[in-house]
Structure 1
Amino acid sequence: MSGPGGARLRSLDRALLLAAGSVVALGCLQLGLSLPGSGDLWWAHLVLVFTFWVYAAAGLLAWHRRPGNSMGMLVTFGGAAVLAGSLGNTSVPALIAVGAITATVVLAVTVHLLLAFPSGKVHGRTARIVATAGYGVALILQAPQYLFDPDAASLLFVADRPGLLDAGAWVQRTAGGLVVVAAALILARRIVHARAGRRRVLLPLFAYGMLALLSVPLRPTVLEPALGGITAAVVQFVIIAGVPVAFVLAMLRGGFAREGELEELAVRLGDAGGAHGRIPLLLGQVLGDASIDVLFWMPEQSAWVDSAGAPAVLPLPQDRAGVEVTIGGERIGAILYDDDLIADPETVQAAGRVMALAIERERLLARLLAQRGALIASRARIVTAADRERRRIARDLHDGMQVSLVLLALEAQRVASAAPDGAVRCRVLTLRHGIDETAAELRTFVHRLMPPALIERGLCAAAEDLVDRMPLPTVLHAEPTGGPLPPGVESTAYFLIAEGLANALKHARAARMSVRIGREADLLTVEVHDDGIGGAAMHGGRGLRGLADRVHALGGELRVDSATSCGTHLRAELPCAS
């Protein structure tokens, strides 16, 4: 990776490595200050530092994966709160005072994290009030715990007032409980209104976060009576240590929005080499929304199309948002995204400006695909119309002229039987034979134009009739077609079988032939195989070329495998949706 974007990413990586080293050093320093004199409780200090390291590692990982998202910074800040709150275990008076002030800040950070997930910003007036109240409970209502407790930080102690100490503790617990309940209601509402896919990410994360918050009021009432004071505190911190792990798991499942770092987007675009269809994937990787899609504006039709040239419809569903992309004031496309994952549309607009030229290139390709689709549809209509006319002519000849000839032959036979003169009878019989020959030629013409079996009984019956008339051993494998076929597809498949068998009889010197007809969903497969000398080619004659044109006009594919001395294999795949 080279260029300014690559240099920016390398600089970010170096900064994160430096931060990781600082985190390790701070944890070791805290252990160095708290372990001496800790006695049998040394393991509790290890748990606290381990919790700090888990928070910091998760935050730095999130920061690395989503540099422009605030979630990584918030998780890292949570680690700093854990470390600051544990400073009360040292023997340095100033650090003890810091630990007393910040003892419960990590709980406020947890509320903040839950309310800010996944965009990193707290949305909604109520949610912002609850997040702010959480910090107020952790910092302001914490004051009585060190101002009126002689066993707390000596630098902050004011007076020994047990009544105020108990009242302050009760107020803090009550206010904290209210904050937890309010946060739970907000999160429950988000889960209810989330889509099923997002709910699978949010539900376990929010449930575990609320468990971590509830460990605060449960500690004095449930954990301490059951486990003891020190053990209960350690269990609470172990539960809290799982919070950043839950956020990392949610991030790996696609929950984080990646906003910013557009230089990275430009670098990735260059590395992708302009591959078709890569724009939504690149945007999704950088912005953190795997559901991102790109539509293209077709001014000639005043319509939106997707990357395949198929028509697309706006406006968007309720849970989707979109921004337009322009070049020189001309609309060229739109980026559709999940507004729950990406909070700021300006981020998407900035990404659109970076990707504008690539989107314009994709738009031109989408226009070509749309035109190609229109051409294929037009050719398919022509083939269908031609087949419909052939069927009409064949039916008229079969039901009209052929019947008339049969009636004329019968009348000639009657006249011949009633004629007294032998010469007249002979001439009438000759006329009758001529009529019979003409009727036979007409039947052959009608069969070549459009076999009656195909019109009346369908492809499999017509193919069976054709195979039965072959002078060489020929096997037919006809699987159930799963419903009627479009007439154009049915006719094309039949003529492919007829042409393949006819070529094998005329040119291949084959001893055996086989035909296979199969259908899977909306795709009809027709195969004709012989064990002859091979050597057939698509450009070798008008028959295969004409069939290839018919197949392609219907949106299908025709392949000819005809290696010398290995026989010939024709395979056509025809879309057959009604």
Structure 2
Amino acid sequence: MATTVASSLQTKSVFRDPVLLVPAVVGASLAVGWLGADRGVAGTRIAADLALSWTLVAASAVALERTRWRRSRILLAATAFALLAADLQWTSSDVLWTLGFLLEAVWGALLVHIVLTFPTGRPWSRVASVTATCAYGTAFGGQLVRAFVLPDSRDVLAITSTQRMADAVGRAQQTLGILLGLTALVLVVRRLRGLRGPAWRAQAPLLAAAAVGGAAAAVWLGWVSVTGAGFPALERLVRAVALLVPLGAVAGITWSRLSRHDASDLVVELRTGGSASLRERLARILGDPTLEVAYRLDDGRYVDADGSPRELLEGPNRAITVVTAQGREVAALVHDSALLDEPRLVESVRATAGLVLENERLAAQVRAQLAEVRASRARLVAATDAERRRLERNLHDGAQQRLVTLAVTLGLAAARTDAASSQVLSSAQDEVEEAIAELRELARGIHPTLLRAEGLDAAVAALARRAPLPVATHGSAGGRLPDAVELAAYFLVSEALTNVVKHASAKEATVRVERLAGTLSVSVTDDGTGGAQPTAGSGLAGMRDRLEALDASLVVESRPGHGTTVRAEIPCG
């Protein structure tokens, strides 16, 4: 993954400037054109070769601003020279004629290489790499084999003169050329369908032109293969269509330039973007719908706009641009690597968005702190519940069991002694049994065993049965839920019913439990006097704190004289 700090742009090196190639290509093309005219070559053919070579080197020069296109620039210039080298067949020198014959189709292989590796010069896939390699093998290797058997007096590499074998090699080249052209066409179409945002802007014109050129080349090779003879007009048409490839590269660069915003437009867009989020505004400006914004906190962590942790992970075709404000990093833009080809656009956004992103960073930091507080509260609730379970088990397995044993022992002793002693022992046994009952109630309040064993529905039903007034239960939790959710719902019902008994003067109450769309709804309604308020320090206030730790909500509706309804909505996944 590429990482950039857009505040600095790469300095151009004069030694890598393809503009210096323009005079060389112009001089070489004029010399080749003069040779063609001297040998009676058709003017349209000469014009097509000159136009294509000039356009190729011009596109290489225009692409100089794209640092990632360096390999493609070299390939464009190399294609121009390969095309002119193929025209050495117009010379009277046998050696130069043979060299031109060997390079006759190499320029086409170079175009295939450009297209299947555009824009970085690296193959898109293994299939693209194999296709480009086979194109070179077919173009140069096939010509080399033909040169060994070609019955032409100008061929200095001829070992034997066999026209039939030379024709067979030529037909094999044409067949392979058609297959490779169709394969490249499929790869180009698939590539086009996968492009989005800035990559579409920069690459689509060249790839679309390549698709048209590939189809024209396949038609020409098919014609030659079927008829066994060349068709000069169609051959010139193929060269004319090949012009679209370098023109497509220039069109992509021009399209990207036209899409740039002025600095004033950027300020207005960023600060008055309507209801759209800052990420959406930046994505619209950069033309990259996949853009992500990660805000850097004071401790070095990154979060998104909601305050959730964000990892800057490596990935294919992704790049990171760091945004600073007053010399301090405030955010990182994670975007399509194609935007690296438009450094001025990225730099404009980086320079303009710094202050706005700083404000958003502060807001994101507050949200992150609130999220951490919520997570801390959730951890405290979980730790408290775990401690409740431990205390409940200790009471059940320790003190409660000892008291049960003591009560049994007292009962046995009372049965074996005189009447006076028996009465004292029986009284002591009754006291122990009352202590056991109180201890069981205490353990149930700390952590209900029934809830852990059978779930929320059974535990709520038990609360309703133990209440000293009629309590109707409706609905179901629909199976087991996370421990924290079941405990919160249980204690809500328990606290609400306790308040009904102590304060409401109610005749009856209703408990309703429903589970819908990942949310557990729990409500307790009574027909009492109403007027309940979850004041600080009250049981309902404590329940609100517990519920908020689970991102749940608590609503108390209690108009005087109209009863009370306590309702909670608890996310349960």
What TM-score do the two structures reach when normalised by structure 1? 0.61
Does the C-alpha gap of structure 1 residues 236 and 446 become closer, same or farther in structure 2, counting only changes over 3 Å?
same
**1:307 aligned to which of 305, 313, 334:** 305
SS at 2:290's partner residue? coil
**1:451 aligned to which of 448, 461, 477:** 448
Contact 1:527–1:570 (CA under 8 A) maintained in structure 2? yes
Contact 2:213–2:244 (CA under 8 A) maintained in structure 1? no
Q: State the AA in 2 paired with 1:424.
A: S
Task: Name the counterpart of 1:428.
Answer: 425
* Structure 1 residue 443, shift from structure 2 partner: 1.8
Does the C-alpha gap of structure 1 residues 181 and 445 become closer, same or farther in structure 2, counting only changes over 3 Å?
closer
**2:194 aligned to which of 197, 200, 203:** 200
**1:379 aligned to which of 363, 377, 380:** 377
**Distance of 1:124 and 1:538 partners within structure 2:** 69
Does the C-alpha gap of structure 1 residues 255 and 547 become closer, same or farther in structure 2, counting only changes over 3 Å?
farther
Q: State the AA in 2 paired with 1:177.
A: G
Does the C-alpha gap of structure 1 residues 185 and 424 become closer, same or farther in structure 2, counting only changes over 3 Å?
closer
Task: Name the counterpart of 1:271.
Answer: 272
Does the C-alpha gap of structure 1 residues 120 and 236 become closer, same or farther in structure 2, counting only changes over 3 Å?
farther
Contact 1:121–1:343 (CA under 8 A) maintained in structure 2? yes
Q: Which moved further from structure 2: 277-286 or 171-180?
A: 171-180
Identical-residue share of aligned pairs (%): 25
**Distance of 1:502 and 1:323 partners within structure 2:** 59
Q: State the AA in 1 paired with 2:113.
A: A
Task: Name the counterpart of 2:549.
Answer: 553
Does the C-alpha gap of structure 1 residues 353 and 377 become closer, same or farther in structure 2, counting only changes over 3 Å?
same
Report the number of matched residues. Answer: 449
Task: Name the counterpart of 1:5.
Answer: none
* Structure 1 residue 128, shift from structure 2 partner: 1.1
Contact 2:87–2:104 (CA under 8 A) maintained in structure 1? no
**Distance of 1:534 and 1:258 partners within structure 2:** 68
Does the C-alpha gap of structure 1 residues 177 and 98 become closer, same or farther in structure 2, counting only changes over 3 Å?
closer
Does the C-alpha gap of structure 1 residues 537 and 365 become closer, same or farther in structure 2, counting only changes over 3 Å?
farther
Task: Name the counterpart of 2:187.
Answer: none
Alignment of 1:205-224 (within 5 A): 208-218=208-218
**1:183 aligned to which of 114, 135, 153:** 114
**Distance of 2:521 and 2:528 partners within structure 1:** 21
Structure 1 residue runs without a partner (length 5+): 1-96, 149-166
Q: State the AA in 2 paired with 1:200.
A: G
SS at 2:471's partner residue? coil
Does the C-alpha gap of structure 1 residues 396 and 98 become closer, same or farther in structure 2, counting only changes over 3 Å?
same
Q: State the AA in 1 paired with 2:427.
A: T
Does the C-alpha gap of structure 1 residues 496 and 105 become closer, same or farther in structure 2, counting only changes over 3 Å?
farther
Contact 2:322–2:332 (CA under 8 A) maintained in structure 1? yes
Task: Name the counterpart of 2:75.
Answer: 130
Q: Which moved further from structure 2: 441-450 or 561-570?
A: 561-570
Q: State the AA in 1 paired with 2:269.
A: R
**Distance of 2:378 and 2:277 partners within structure 1:** 31
**Distance of 2:101 and 2:46 partners within structure 1:** 17
* Structure 1 residue 547, shift from structure 2 partner: 0.6
Alignment of 1:85-484 (within 5 A): 121=66, 123-132=68-77, 174=105, 177-187=108-118, 190-192=123-125, 200-201=194-195, 208-218=208-218, 259=260, 261-272=262-273, 278-299=277-298, 301-314=299-312, 316-317=314-315, 319-345=317-343, 347-421=345-419, 423-469=420-466, 471-481=470-480
**Distance of 1:404 and 1:174 partners within structure 2:** 98
**Distance of 1:435 and 1:556 partners within structure 2:** 42
**Distance of 2:82 and 2:208 partners within structure 1:** 21
Does the C-alpha gap of structure 1 residues 527 and 102 become closer, same or farther in structure 2, counting only changes over 3 Å?
farther
**Distance of 1:560 and 1:550 partners within structure 2:** 15
CA RMSD of superposed structures (Å): 5.4
Deviation per residue, 1:114-161 (Å, 9 max, x gap):
9999x99484444113334566799x79999xxx9xxxxxxxxxxxxx
Contact 2:295–2:364 (CA under 8 A) maintained in structure 1? yes
SS at 1:478's partner residue? coil
SS at 1:311's partner residue? coil
* Structure 1 residue 346, shift from structure 2 partner: 5.2
**Distance of 1:563 and 1:242 partners within structure 2:** 78
Does the C-alpha gap of structure 1 residues 112 and 330 become closer, same or farther in structure 2, counting only changes over 3 Å?
same
Does the C-alpha gap of structure 1 residues 285 and 426 become closer, same or farther in structure 2, counting only changes over 3 Å?
same
**Distance of 1:543 and 1:110 partners within structure 2:** 80
Task: Name the counterpart of 1:82.
Answer: none
Contact 2:296–2:303 (CA under 8 A) maintained in structure 1? yes
Does the C-alpha gap of structure 1 residues 434 and 481 become closer, same or farther in structure 2, counting only changes over 3 Å?
closer
**Distance of 2:55 and 2:563 partners within structure 1:** 74
Does the C-alpha gap of structure 1 residues 257 and 424 become closer, same or farther in structure 2, counting only changes over 3 Å?
farther
**Distance of 2:209 and 2:493 partners within structure 1:** 66
Contact 2:210–2:245 (CA under 8 A) maintained in structure 1? no
* Structure 1 residue 354, shift from structure 2 partner: 0.7
Task: Name the counterpart of 1:57.
Answer: none
Task: Name the counterpart of 2:520.
Answer: 525
Contact 1:556–1:575 (CA under 8 A) maintained in structure 2? no
Task: Name the counterpart of 1:513.
Answer: 510
Q: State the AA in 2 paired with 1:547.
A: M
Contact 1:548–1:558 (CA under 8 A) maintained in structure 2? yes
**Distance of 2:551 and 2:426 partners within structure 1:** 53
Contact 2:473–2:510 (CA under 8 A) maintained in structure 1? yes
Does the C-alpha gap of structure 1 residues 305 and 217 become closer, same or farther in structure 2, counting only changes over 3 Å?
closer
Contact 2:505–2:529 (CA under 8 A) maintained in structure 1? yes
* Structure 1 residue 268, shift from structure 2 partner: 0.8
SS at 1:473's partner residue? strand
Contact 1:515–1:529 (CA under 8 A) maintained in structure 2? yes
Contact 2:324–2:354 (CA under 8 A) maintained in structure 1? yes
**Distance of 2:504 and 2:320 partners within structure 1:** 61
* Structure 1 residue 543, shift from structure 2 partner: 2.4
SS at 1:312's partner residue? coil
Deviation per residue, 1:338-364 (Å, 9 max, x gap):
223432445424312211111111121
Deviation per residue, 1:288-318 (Å, 9 max, x gap):
222222222333x233333333333456446
SS at 2:543's partner residue? helix
Does the C-alpha gap of structure 1 residues 535 and 115 become closer, same or farther in structure 2, counting only changes over 3 Å?
farther
Does the C-alpha gap of structure 1 residues 375 and 116 become closer, same or farther in structure 2, counting only changes over 3 Å?
farther
**Distance of 1:110 and 1:480 partners within structure 2:** 70
Q: State the AA in 2 paired with 1:548.
A: R
**Distance of 1:312 and 1:339 partners within structure 2:** 19
What TM-score do the two structures reach when normalised by structure 2? 0.61
Deviation per residue, 1:193-244 (Å, 9 max, x gap):
89x9987228995775433113443565657999xx9x989x999x999999
Q: State the AA in 1 paired with 2:504.
A: H
